[in-house]
Amino acid sequence: MLFTELNLKSSSLEAINFMGFESPTEIQEKSIPILLEKDVDFIGQAQTGTGKTAAFTLPLLEKLDLDSRYIQAVVIAPTRELANQICVEIDKLSKFEPVRTLAVYGGVPISGQLRNLKLDRPQVIVGTPGRLLDVMGRGAFDLQKCKYVILDEADEMLDMGFFEDVQEIIAQVPEKKIWMFSATMPKPILNMINKHFCDPELVKVTKQILTSDSIDQQFCIVKRRDQVEALCRYLDYKQNVYAIVFCRTKVGTKELTDELNMRGFPSDALHGDMSQEQRDLTMKKFKAKKINLLICTDVAARGIDVTDLTHVINYGLPQDNEAYVHRIGRTGRGGSKGVALSIIEPSEMRRVSQIERITKAKIEKVVLPEVSKIVEVLMDKSTKEFETLVENMTDEDAQFSAFKEHFEAKSKDELLKGLYSFIFSQSLKRYKNAISLDVDANTRDRADRPERGERGAATPNGAQAGYQRFHVNFGKDKMNTADLIRFVSRKASLSGSEIGKISIMNDFSFFEVPVAYEEKILSLNGQDWKGESISLQVAKASRSSGGARSGARNNRNGGASPRRSSTREERGGRSRSAASPRSAAGKTERAPRPERRTPSSDDSKQKIFRRRS
């Protein structure tokens, strides 16, 4: 079907053509005729990235009174980003009509929005629930003549705790039709439909959009401690990746962003602690491709609309399988091909089959590219960059003449050796002793604990085989992971990728580097860090349970446990004797667990709308 077959007015078709679209998506094809022909409450159930904004905007433009100076429609969105994007989309689709829209949302001063309300007198207002209520509470606009309330991403507003605000806004509009779009229909949304909707029409788009041929779904399995290195190898090999990288926590986004930037991949994080100005600046850089990687959580990514992503990368699977669906729907849009890559640890393998059942699509297991192939790609890239520089170079530069004269006595072979070292030393150094990171799905990966086959080769202080573990006298109050990587890599002339496990404790830290660099690291002892002297020493062996095995046990999750440490300096005092009062007292008697109560549920569902196939 084409848009020209949907009985839209000529100005809308002209705008659609100007935007370069010809055919509607499934949700648009099914929703637009109903909303055009009928004056009804409406529910559209479809996933993120299916074109829901145009599905409600195009019919709305047909129903607006363009001569009116009253608000005729309120669009409620869960995030500032989505509210802005909806406003922009309405402006594009009404390019050839005098429609006035305004977005109101938190994170910026309300005074400017109140001023624009008075000056612009918008016919459509788009906003987040909290700011809409705030503006309404100040008497800034009247919804008595509002005809339409539109809820976009209703389930997201429920998850974010805005649902009471949404229902309060709905209740303040006396005569209206409600159009709601949501990916899922949890019970609170069904209850709201019973309360506020009148015999709504339903359009439900099946999940076949998730199994589209436009998205290649892939996963690779590595140990948790190797996930950063795996991501960097993938980025080095693929080149020109333009992606959103999803992490589970905002702390994880910051740490991964620091690590990627240290390794030469321009990245920025998007998380909940940022001001609106910072978020806008980050998104502006990402859309302008000044940075190629946006690292964010699921919550922070809500409302982000970037149409030309080459990849969506899951840095570990999301806790909710449905969140995986939302993530990957951000690539493979607009007829382009996209890749959804998940870098997972062995324990997550069982989740892959669960997600395959949800998406009804095969997720292909892939292995990371071989080190030799990555090196070939890096050499080819650097060689082409060098050739471009040579072609654009002229002899007119006075500094070049002096430079040329300085090296005239060198032979061609000497110059080539120096050139090779200068160009490739940093890019290839980290792959000099690199090994394969891929592991079998059945591998038991206990974070950074050495595998059974490795324990004999590990050092007595718990360092992984081939590495030495160091203790430094600064902890979280003075140094974070990025600071430690920066200090060690710059002062010891190491690549950030050569630094192994890092554990930042409250008052001290641990890190590992290859054994070959031990003397170089120890030479940093006494160096200045922010006005204080660094104290570095090889981490001591465990006194309590025998060398590497104890070190490995205390090194789960990337280092010594903050509650119990294996070395004397980690505890700041004497090690506890095996015959301590606590151990002599015998086993501690546990209190009986309370009986688990299963809440009752009503399996019957009230029919609340007429299904339309």
Q: What is the DSSP string of 156-213?
A: HHHHTT-HHHHHHHHHT-SS-EEEEEES---HHHHHHHHHH-SS-EEEE--GGGGG-T
* Rounded Cα–Cα distance for residues 311 and 327 (Å): 10
Across 108-133, b (16+ Cβ under 10 Å) vs e yields eeeeebbeebeeeebbbbbbbbebbb
Quote the domain boundaries for residue 129.
3-205
Both tokens of 447, joined, read: 């974070």
Q: What CATH number does residue 154 fall under?
A: 3.40.50.300
Ramachandran angles phi, psi of 56, nearest 5°: -100, -25
- Asked whether 219 and 344 are in contact (CB, 8 A), the reply is yes
pTM over 0.75: no
Which of 176, 205, 234 terminates a domain? The answer is: 205
In this structure, is residue 582 part of a structural domain?
no
Count up the domains in the chain and report the number: 4
Do residue 254 and residue 343 come from a single domain? yes
Across 406-440, b (16+ Cβ under 10 Å) vs e yields eeeeeeeeeeeeeeeeeeeeebbebbeebeebebe
In this structure, is residue 45 part of a structural domain?
yes
In this structure, is residue 123 part of a structural domain?
yes
In this structure, is residue 501 part of a structural domain?
yes
Do residue 16 and residue 32 come from a single domain? yes
Looking at residue 132, what is its pLDDT? 93
Do residue 279 and residue 317 come from a single domain? yes
Cα–Cα nearest to 262, from 432, 491, 495: 495
Ramachandran angles phi, psi of 26, nearest 5°: -60, -45
Do residue 285 and residue 404 come from a single domain? no
In this structure, is residue 566 part of a structural domain?
no
Do residue 220 and residue 316 come from a single domain? yes
Do residue 249 and residue 357 come from a single domain? yes
Looking at residue 158, what is its pLDDT? 85
* Rounded Cα–Cα distance for residues 475 and 504 (Å): 6
Looking at residue 561, what is its pLDDT? 40
Looking at residue 563, what is its pLDDT? 38
Could you read off the pLDDT of 301-348 as tens digits, one per residue? 776 778 789 999 999 988 777 778 888 888 887 667 889 999 998 888
Looking at residue 355, what is its pLDDT? 86
In this structure, is residue 142 part of a structural domain?
yes
Do residue 171 and residue 70 come from a single domain? yes
Question: CA angle 448-464-474, nearest 5°?
Answer: 75
Proportion of the chain above pLDDT 70, given as a percent = 81
- Residue 495: which residues within 8 A CB-CB, separation 6 or more? 263, 426, 429, 430, 489
Do residue 354 and residue 245 come from a single domain? yes
The helix/strand/coil state of 460 is coil
Do residue 488 and residue 530 come from a single domain? yes
Angle at which helices 227-238 and 250-262 cross, to 10°: 50
In this structure, is residue 400 part of a structural domain?
yes
Could you read off the pLDDT of 367-422 as tens digits, one per residue? 999 988 998 888 888 888 888 888 877 766 677 778 888 888 888 888 888 888 87
Do residue 42 and residue 173 come from a single domain? yes
Q: Give the helix/strand (H/E) hosting 527.
A: none
Do residue 52 and residue 192 come from a single domain? yes
Looking at residue 183, what is its pLDDT? 84
In this structure, is residue 585 part of a structural domain?
no
Looking at residue 212, what is its pLDDT? 57
Q: What CATH number does residue 501 fall under?
A: 3.30.70.330
Which of 561, 577, 605 terminates a domain? The answer is: 561
Ramachandran angles phi, psi of 5, nearest 5°: -90, 5
* Rounded Cα–Cα distance for residues 343 and 346 (Å): 10
Looking at residue 594, what is its pLDDT? 47
Question: CA angle 290-293-296, nearest 5°?
Answer: 125
Q: Give the helix/strand (H/E) hosting 277.
A: helix 276-287
Residue ranges in the chain whose pLDDT is less than 50: 208-211, 445-457, 544-592, 594-613
Which of 175, 205, 235 terminates a domain? The answer is: 205
Secondary structure letter of residue 370 according to DSSP: P
Q: How many CB atoms lie within 10 A of CB 350?
A: 9
Do residue 176 and residue 255 come from a single domain? no
